[in-house]
Amino acid sequence: MKALPPFDQWNRWRPGLLLLAFLSGVIAAIGHPPVSFPLATVIGMAVAVRLSADSGSWKRAAWLGYAFGAGYFLVVMHWLVEPFLVFPLRHGWLAPPALLAMAGGLAIFWSAAFGAAFAIGFGRWTRHVALAVTLTLSEALREVAFTGFPWGLPGYAWSATPVAGLAAHVGPLGLTFLTVLAAVVLLGGRRLWTGGLAALAGIAFAWMAGLALMQEADIEAGDRPVVRLVQPNVDQSLKWHPDHVQRFHDRLLQLTAGTSEFPPDVVVWPETAATFLLEDGDPRLSEIASAAGGATTVLGIRRIAGNKVHNSMVSIGPSGTVEQNYDKRKLVPFGEYVPFGDFLAGHGWSGLASNETGAFSPGTVSQVIDLPPIGRIIAIICYEAIFWSELRSLERPEAMIQITNDGWFGTFSGPQQHFEQARMRAIELGTPLIRVANTGVSAVIDGKGNVLGSIALGSEGYLDVELPPPLPPTLFARVGHAPLLGLAMVIMGFICWRRMAIRR
């Protein structure tokens, strides 16, 4: 098989190369739900890696990285149009520019990574390996920059496969680093067939290692609490409509009071499942407690404190009193609040998820709360589940509870991606996750990432699942990404040292 030609032989077709990089990004995105074909991520990434290494300059590499990232994020983030279509006459016109702005903005991180890798490296292989480092670091930056939005990491393409089990040791950034390395091996050499065999061998090894890690742990469980997941499947466009509010509330009560062989110890409702304010709860809180039949009920509700409105998770005891409260800390920009909101609120804009109470304010109370009979839990509301560093830094709990309203995100890809990314948190920390969504997917996931029971997307119902115990702390839970960052420093230091040595 002939060697692959370098970039300078294709120089006359430079615009065509940008299109090829864009299409490579589209292919790489196919690794994520709803298609979930991770080999496509490796193949698309491999083409982009090869193009950038042979681009001839860091500026060309940066442009190719931008085109690749734009194609990738345009597909991965296409569910972003769904929230604007809940009320299409009011917000529908914003859907296309919002998607283009998001894809274009996230692509800047990858553009910087591609340009930096070319500038640091001095040959094809050093630029390839440097890109594995710089792209991983750019994904780390996405977790914190501009309030953070680390959605759709390349490593998440493996979330529905046994390879995800490696996250217990290397974390989400480690999976991303290994994904780029697989792409480097695939097209990094001069012969396609040797690179292909080597990449497949590496993936097969990771698959088997992950499969071994995700086997159910042999832990003495003892008597464990039974958790009831309540998924009402409420149409988001009707959720707050005065003619339907009571009907949806009655549905939640009926599901909560459903019969079962073993009565639940904890009942969990989704985010903002209660359409009334917490301060206006009586006698409805007592009504909820009565339907729960003595179980503790966890539910999402709006709460007012002073002049601030919070998106909250509260626990209701058997007597109908509020026992614990957590206010969401990570709010969704342009959804739950709007940057420069004081100015824009005067023009009638307070965020897609806001209503007559106005935009939400971030909470300040601890994310770790007591929830008998489970014990200490990490409370997670909606997309707070995608911030791996913040969850790892918290006190180690007995379980995590995520409540979310994925009814905003349609049914095609957004809820599936959100579910898989939340599942990764259970694997990384070795901590079981209770996840309840308005329209799905609701599930209980053990510390190995195994789904013990779930309610399908777009279904109405309840499910009782015995909560598994937490596992011993994983390597990632103990040290985070420190080993990966150390490896990155060693790789970059070696490349720089070799470059200086060659120049001398």
Per-residue exposure over 154-167, b if at least 16 CB sit within 10 Å of its own CB, e if not: bbbbbbbbbbbbbb
The conformational region for residue 382 under phi > 0 = left, psi -120 to 50 = alpha, else beta, is left
Q: Which of 239, 328, 330, 448 is catalytic?
A: 328
With beta carbons less than 8 A apart as the criterion, state whether 454 and 463 touch: yes
Separation between Cα atoms, residue 154 and residue 122, nearest integer Å: 25
In which order are the strands placed within the sheet that holds 461-466? 322-327, 308-316, 296-305, 266-268, 226-231, 461-466
In which order are the strands placed within the sheet that holds 375-381? 368-371, 375-381, 399-404, 433-437, 442-445, 451-455
Nearest to 131 by CA among 177, 171, 66: 177
Separation between Cα atoms, residue 85 and residue 410, nearest integer Å: 9
Q: How many angstroms separate the Cα of 54 from the Cα of each of 7, 48, 357, 502?
A: 5, 10, 55, 20
Separation between Cα atoms, residue 55 and residue 6, nearest integer Å: 8
Q: Which of 139, 271, 384, 428 is catalytic?
A: 271
Q: Which of 382, 384, 428, 448 is catalytic?
A: 382
Task: Tally Cβ neighbours within 10 Å of residue 389.
Answer: 16
Nearest to 447 by CA among 219, 275, 232: 219
Q: Is there a catalytic annotation at residue 216?
A: no
Q: Is there a catalytic annotation at residue 279?
A: no
SS3 269: coil
Q: Is there a catalytic annotation at residue 382?
A: yes
Query: What amino acid positions are annotated as catalytic residues?
Result: 271, 328, 382
